A and B are shown apart, each in its own frame.
Chain A
Amino acid sequence: MSTLPFPRRLATLLLEAAISIAPHEALDWGHAMLGELRHVEGNWSALFWSLGGAGVLAKHALVALVFPAANRSALPSGGDLFSKEAPMRKATLGITAACVLASLLFFLAPVFRQAFRVSLAQWHDVLHVQAPFTEQSDAVLKDLLRKAEQNHDAEALAFVALRTWDRSESARLADEAVRLDPKLTWVYAAAGTFYLPGPDTGRVSALAQWDPENALPHLIVAERVDIDEVEREKIPHSVDEEPAAWRDAMATAFQSSKLDTYLDRQKELDRRVLARYHVEDPFQAVAYENWYGLPSYASWDSSRYAEWLLKSGAALEARVDRKAALGKYLAVARFGEMMGLDHGFFMRDELKEAYTRLGALSQLEGKKEEAALYAELAGQLDRAREERLASWRNSYRGSDVSHWNAFLVRLSGLLLLFFGSLLALCVIGLVIRSRSMKLTSLRPSGLTLALAFSSAIGALLSSAVLFVSYWPYSHVLQRFVSAGDESGLSELSNFLGNSQLPLGAGLRVGSWYVGVSEVVFYFWFGVTILCALAVAIAILRHFQTRPRTTAA
């Protein structure tokens, strides 16, 4: 055995494996094919002989599995003698049709359509098409905008403005929304912070007038100055080098009594518009789930300005002007607390320093209770930071459940496409071979029938798994839209984030990490190899079947 060439050994193994799964009535035939294998001339011919035989035995095994011997027909008579067992064929066709129908019925359910769309998100990277969010901008948002303009619906206009990538269009829609309903002036903040702000056309000033206590408009102004400086390649190295406009904006921001990012208003607006226009798109519901609502430079600007205030305070302290120094430290502490742990993550060191210096000043003035309070607040920062980091890590990784559900949704969506394509190929092949569209004249071969049957069963199972895996998330979305319940939004966000990765991405095998670009590369590499293989087989078959001319 071991002296046999590899193809012949493989051929023997293949047939032996097929015999091991063959039903009782096909065993003799399996051994017959195996017996002949020894006499087949040529190693590769032997392998092809084995492949054909194994296919026959596998088909019998599948038929025996689906139709137990007791249910299979006995000898047919007359005209059906060689047309395979008619009752079995009818039953197979019946089951196939029922499975296809059941799979199609799934599409009638809105939840399933949502799930199917989510399962397609993994293809965006592979096929280099737009991300789901921008794709929505093209289709759903255009439709929504048309309805919003017809109805003069300020909230829907604001909803579209917040999701439109075109800055001038976003600004136009925001202006229209505010004109219709001045209570929506906060949209200027969201539109101005989420996208790169354009030239100031009075929108930020309008926002500052509308909500004068809020620090956010001043942070947006500071960011505009930053961007202007970067564009002019005049990047300041310290706060002292910053333009006066920047320092004024930051000073006003630090003196403001509140910092409202309007995220709550945004979520509430989203919810109302999603419900009013029946937009059943989970990606829209979690659009702002992982966004802090501050301009990109806000944390860095705040951190730099706080550091500058602390230095100024130290200088004042050195001049024994404790009262002025206290004012500077208190401004840092108050703004740091206002930003909270999420926004003030980058200001943590400055905030801690401010508490430490405030504690030292209180000690100097003999206020022991105040000094102890500042020391406690400084200590709390470290603990809160650790807790927040752990929470972020968990939130970033997501739970195992959302990981597995995203995997199942991606896999079942992929299989559904595969089985659907296989089924379509079977039907097209059958119509071409029969040269007719009439159902009565379509006579599928055993292989076509087996493929169609397996595809139909596969499509039904994939549909069921897709539906069941996505079901909990449709409830989360429904609860958020109908009742404003945000309890599952974080989980939904993790699930959707994982669903957008192509299947296989994110795997870690030892030190080898499979990234999105690797999956995309291997996918197209595989497709190229398969195409090349198909062309090679077609050419080989062409030359094998071409009638040979004999030499004269």
Chain B
Amino acid sequence: MKAPRLSPQTLRVLETFVARPTAWRYGYDLSRETALKSGTLYPILMRLAKYGLLETKWVATEDGVPPRHTYRLTAKGAELARAQQPAARPSLRARRAALSGGRT
């Protein structure tokens, strides 16, 4: 499969999820950890969820307080996130070498 194009912001969100892959995360916590504003973060979350890479759940916290939306990567999402980790990506030098037929 051709590698999907991911923006630096999406990569940052995936990296944050990968740090604790099984934990459910709140939107505001993700915003603080990734330093992304709500206007950037939520479109990414919405797209990840739309493509089945993220699962969502409503969690009631206390009486009289509205429930909170929480997020966690699906297995497919975790696989994609791991594939995008720096260690899994070929280095720039290796890519150049491949493109120039082995000459570095």
Contacts and interface: CB of A to CB of B under 8 A. Distances in A.
B40 to A, nearest CB: 7
A39 B70 CA distance: 13
Interface stretch (A29-37, A281-289, A293-301): A29-37
A53 B39 contact: yes
A78 B1 contact: yes
A35 B66 contact: yes
In the A-B complex, the 3 residue pairs with the smallest Cβ-Cβ separation, listed nearest first, are: A52-B39, A32-B69, A52-B38
Interface in A154-201: none
A28 B51 CA distance: 16
A82 B69 contact: no
Given A40-B28, A52-B40, A31 B69 contact: yes
A92 to B, nearest CB: 16
A263 to B, nearest CB: 64
Interface residues of A, number: 29
Interface string A34-62: 11101110000000111111011000000
Given A34-B66, A35-B67, A52-B37, A82 B5 contact: yes
B87 interface: no
B7 A55 contact: no
Contact of A81 (B27, B31, B51): B51
Contacts of A83: 5
Interface residues of B, number: 29
Q: Specify the main secondary structure of chain B where it touches its partner.
A: mixed
Interface of A: 26, 28-29, 31-36, 38-40, 48-53, 55-56, 75, 78-84, 446
Contacts of A34: 66
A33 B4 contact: no
A31 B65 CA distance: 13
Interface in B1-51: 1-7, 10, 26-28, 31, 37-40, 42-43, 45-47, 50-51
B27 A33 contact: yes
B96 interface: no
A317 B26 CA distance: 108
B89 interface: no
Contacts of B45: 29
A56 B36 CA distance: 14
Contacts of B51: 75, 81
Nearest to B7: A82
